[in-house]
Structure 1
Amino acid sequence: MNFKFKETHTFEQRQQDSSKIKAKYPNRVPVVVERHRHSQIPDIDKHKFLVPDDVTVAQFMWIIRKRIDISSEKALFLFVEKNMPQTRIFESTRTYYSLNYTVISIYFNHFSATIGQLYHNFHDDDGFLYISYSGENSFGSGS
């Protein structure tokens, strides 16, 4: 997925920005969140987050849900760009190779993983962690 943030900021700008953030806030993770290009759920109102490294994926997902204001019958899936081999804490995750993304799913017990762990395993060379989200109607249309 091509992140709009990467298209509107040069690599050098992003790298400089993340370096300043990490120097000023060593226990926080710079995260960019964008809707997956094929998703039908609403766009998030804020794309750049500074997240404490001990926040769990479940807690961060709750923040995302609140910011996009999706209904409870909609499933929400988070994806991280796959830029490292699947050999660390996320070796059991399913990878959508055609999308070059790894899904973070409750079915694989990764909601207890922290944003710091995600950052350690999946951060971009520019110093940001890129997360995309998508959803589907998991409980029927309600009609």
Structure 2
Amino acid sequence: MVRSKFKDEHPFDKRKAEAERIRQKYSDRIPVICEKVEKSDIPTIDKKKYLVPADLTVGQFVYVIRKRIKLSPEKAIFIFVDDILPPTAALMSAIYEEHKLPVHPNTFGEEWEEIPQ
């Protein structure tokens, strides 16, 4: 399992509290943490926290990230959620519900990048 630097740096309780706060404030948005694997040769992304529309698909999210890092068409990127490659047609809201933080064992200080619909 690839370890998330974000999870290492931010305690579970704070991540959970921020996710809940964001979902209350932006009920039509999904909070997403996006990190690249350390050994990857793709460009570093400028932000790791995103608020994505609930009806955005995984494929559309990948497109947004590709544009953001200005990735050339011949380069591939893969989005993993808990070491699982979700289907590109899956809605981000469905992926969030499947993989959201458990009730027991959030994040502060950074601004969330809102992805327009």
Larger radius of gyration: 1
Contact preservation (8 Å) 2:32, 2:50: yes
Question: Residue 23 in 1 paired to residue 24 in 2?
Answer: yes
Alignment partner, residue 43 of structure 1: 44
Q: What is the identity percentage for the equivalent residue pairs of Structure 1 and Structure 2?
A: 41
| Offset at residue 9 of structure 1 (A) | 1.5
Question: Residue 113 in 1 paired to residue 114 in 2?
Answer: no
Alignment partner, residue 136 of structure 1: none
Structure 2 segments unaligned to the other structure (5+ residues): 107-117
Structure 1 segments unaligned to the other structure (5+ residues): 82-100, 105-109, 129-143
- TM-score normalized by the length of structure 1: 0.66
Q: Pick the structure with more strand per residue.
A: 1
SS of structure 2 residue aligned to 1:31: strand
Residue deviations 1:93-120 (CA, integer Å, cap 9, x gap): xxxxxxxx1123xxxxx22211001111
Alignment partner, residue 7 of structure 1: 8
Alignment partner, residue 102 of structure 1: 84
Alignment partner, residue 125 of structure 1: 102
SS of structure 1 residue aligned to 2:59: helix
Question: Residue 34 in 1 paired to residue 16 in 2?
Answer: no
Contact preservation (8 Å) 2:58, 2:91: yes
| Offset at residue 42 of structure 1 (A) | 1.4
SS of structure 2 residue aligned to 1:34: coil
CA RMSD, 1 decimal: 1.6
| Offset at residue 75 of structure 1 (A) | 1.2
Moved over 6 A (4+): none
In 1, Cα distance between equivalents of 2:101 and 2:70? 28
Aligned length: 103
| Offset at residue 77 of structure 1 (A) | 1.0
